[in-house]
Chain A
Amino acid sequence: MKNQNRRDFLKTAAGIGASIGIAGSVKPAKASEKTLSDDRFGILVDTDVCVGCRHCEWACRVAHNIPTPDLDTYSDNSVFKEYRRTDASSLTVVNEFENEKNSAMPVHVKTQCMHCEHPACVSACIVGAFSKLEDGSVVWDGDKCIGCRYCMVACPFQIPTYDYDRSIDPQIRKCDLCFEKRKTEKLPACVNICPNEALLFGKRDDIVRIAKSRIKRKYDVYIDHIYGEKEIGGTSWMYIAGKDFEKLKLPKLNYSPAPGISESIQHGIFAYFVPPVTLYALLGTIMWITRKKKGDDSEIKDETNQDKKGGAL
């Protein structure tokens, strides 16, 4: 009877643990699916149309209150000599690459946060400072951030940057798609200023369709691939180009979401206090078993003593 009870207890404990584990891991995935709207935006960077005027860099700085030199100075081409990355004072940068087909028309590629469909930074952030909004943008809340910079490590595009120069209240900075500005002006600053509409802003589904038709129409110009359509589960910013994307320093990535496995394990383990509950359950079980064992031993000891006594008598 005692044994039966113990087995029952263990069974239910394991059952509860497993069910919590499953429930915990399924819930977050569901949540991220829910937040994405069907009308979420997408932006196409048509590298064939971009002329590398860098007006987007200027507009971005102005929109984010970052000090900037006059717009006329941006036509200086010498910055293209070195490959540049985003930093705390430039949330977007345009780089120039050689065009083998026509040397007079170099390829220009604008880089910024890709606003992934399944963002690794959101998943990596331990305090929930990053969030993926319904319209597709990935934004950062400075009040929650503790400056751990896990997001910088997690990002497959190495985009989020840190205000290393500011000793007091340094910030994580990255493109926020002019989240505040769009409440009144509809378009992000870079899209608005682009003279050639090399940045096409619209519903993500429309953007993918337009990108496909452009590739089809100018089949001799573009390679047949939309970068970002499926990379790491899809991104909001997408690129079409006449040159291999790896040569344009856009990393070759899997089609499965970056945080897929890590997130499900993490969320599975940490959701609903599963680790402490299981730990206590495990410790409790061990304690309970070992206590019983001691009790058994003393009973046996008593019996043998009695036997000895009886034998003597």
Chain B
Amino acid sequence: MKKTILIISPLLVICAFAISTLFSQNKHQGLNETVDKLNRNVVVSGKKDDPLTEKISCKTCHVTEYPTRKDPGLRSCPRDKMLSGFPSSKTGPDVVVINEMSENYSGVRFSHGLHSQMSEMSLGCVDCHHYNISTEEILKCSDCHNKNRSREEVSVPDLKSAFHRQCMMCHKQWSHDNGCNSQCHVRKGQENNLVQKDFTGKIHPKQKEPEKMIWETNYEKGKIVTFFHDEHIQLFKINCKSCHGNDKCVKCHDKPLQPTDYSKPIHRKKSFEEHHMPCLNCHKSENCQKCHRDQEMTPFNHGKSTGWILKSYHSQLACEKCHGGQMPVKKIDRNCSSCHKNFLPGKFEHKKTGFVLSETHKDMECKSCHANNDFAKNPDCKECHDDKSFPSQLPGKRK
């Protein structure tokens, strides 16, 4: 009996500790759960775990305690004054001086003109003037962004960070440092140190455009892809932003970046989608071989591609004169009268073609020389003259 007591008593003490340890662990788990619940309660007042569809508190918009239909008591909202359609870069200001927060620093002279001239190639005005898309006034950043860093509602960035993020997130990529080295502003009293150009009336220099670009790809059925950049701009009149609408400034402004040598083949750096999307915008129904060839393509030639060689007058015409302004171009009938509505027998003045018919040929029917009224082919003299042929003998004079 005594021995059992001797063994049991220390065991009991150990048991007591074990139980107490377990209890306290449970206590911690319980605390975690309450913290979790607290978090969930904050997030999940709308749809579960979806902060975007989260219910908005009535007080966000209504000032009055009990809003009615007659008297909703709405707070004035800066978004009421939002902008629909931006003025062009020419009408916008050249320089905007940002000095709303210039306690320690001098104001920043922001070259708004230069930036807006290029903005259409990088998401447009809304890239900076976000949410500003539905009325006639451009809102100031400070209308929504609070000047105070210490504030109740912190979900919207404060004014200082709103300014800095707009500039630094892009300029940091050009300068390859933290962006603070860009000469934006200097401490007050050191204004003489600021080396800043005058941007008034400045125009962004014209971008250098490559004539053609050649890619060497892994595609087995045609490794070489040739892209004629100049044709797309000059001949097909494609708008820059239809391909370059979402470019980053750093694409050209990267300081140590050497200009690309377009005479050498380019190897794929981007993903499959990134490479093909700009082309697929227009070339929707083409097969791969349209671009992927075994060797470099030759520039566009109307005669080779369509079988209709452009001579004299036609070679000087803009594509849209015949094909319309829309891309892809519409195919047109090769009959002269499909474009030249006034080219009718009897009314047609032959000298317009650069060839004046002789008196004897003047009043003849067209099809006497142009078989089946096919004006693309050379005229045939054999119908009437056994000893004459085109073009050694001519039925008139070249003008």
Contact = CB atoms under 8 A, between A and B. Distances in A.
A194 B157 CA distance: 12
B60 interface: no
Contacts, number: 174
Dominant secondary structure of chain B at its interface with chain A: helix
B21 A186 contact: no
B286 to A, nearest CB: 29
A195 B13 contact: no
Interface string B48-90: 0111101000000000000000000000000000000000000
A187 B149 CA distance: 8
B164 A3 contact: no
B28 A257 contact: yes
B181 A201 contact: no
Contacts of B169: 49, 51, 105
Given A18-B16, A51-B168, A187-B149, A30 B5 contact: no
A29 B17 contact: no
A210 B155 contact: yes
A105 B172 contact: yes
B377 interface: no
Given A22-B16, A195-B164, A260 B172 contact: no
Nearest to A198: B161
Contacts of A28: 24
A242 interface: no
Interface string B161-182: 1001100110011001111110
Given A209-B43, A210-B155, A118 B28 contact: yes
Contacts of B13: 14, 17-18, 21, 278, 282
Given A26-B24, A26-B27, A192-B149, A210 B161 contact: no
A88 interface: no
Given A53-B180, A197-B158, A197-B160, A265 B21 contact: yes
B23 interface: yes
Nearest to B9: A10
A289 interface: yes
A7 B4 CA distance: 11
A285 B27 contact: no
A202 B20 contact: no
A52 interface: yes
Which secondary structure dominates where chain A touches chain B? helix
Contacts of B238: none
B317 interface: no
Contacts of B24: 25-26, 28-29, 263-264, 267-268
B178 A260 contact: no
Interface in A202-256: 202, 205-210, 212-213, 216-217, 229-230, 233-234, 255-256
Interface stretch (B30-38, B276-284, B288-296, B331-339): B30-38
Contact of A209 (B17, B51, B150): B51
Interface string B88-130: 0000000000000000000000000000000000000000000
A275 to B, nearest CB: 10
Contacts of B15: 18
A217 B50 CA distance: 10
B5 to A, nearest CB: 6
Contacts of B39: 205, 208, 229
Contact of B50 (A51, A216, A278): A216
Contact of A261 (B6, B25, B173): B25
A256 B51 contact: no
A24 interface: yes
Nearest to A259: B28
Contacts of A229: 39
11 contacts: A6-B5, A10-B8, A29-B24, A29-B28, A29-B31, A49-B161, A197-B157, A208-B42, A212-B51, A261-B25, A263-B24
The 9 closest A-B pairs by CB, nearest first: A18-B16, A197-B161, A264-B24, A213-B51, A104-B173, A25-B20, A14-B12, A202-B154, A21-B20
Given A75-B180, A197-B160, A201-B149, 7 more contacts: A21-B17, A53-B180, A194-B161, A196-B165, A205-B42, A216-B50, A260-B25
Interface of B: 1-2, 5-6, 8-10, 12-13, 15-17, 19-21, 23-25, 27-29, 31-32, 35-36, 38-39, 42-43, 49-52, 54, 149-150, 154-155, 157-158, 160-161, 164-165, 168-169, 172-173, 176-181, 250, 254
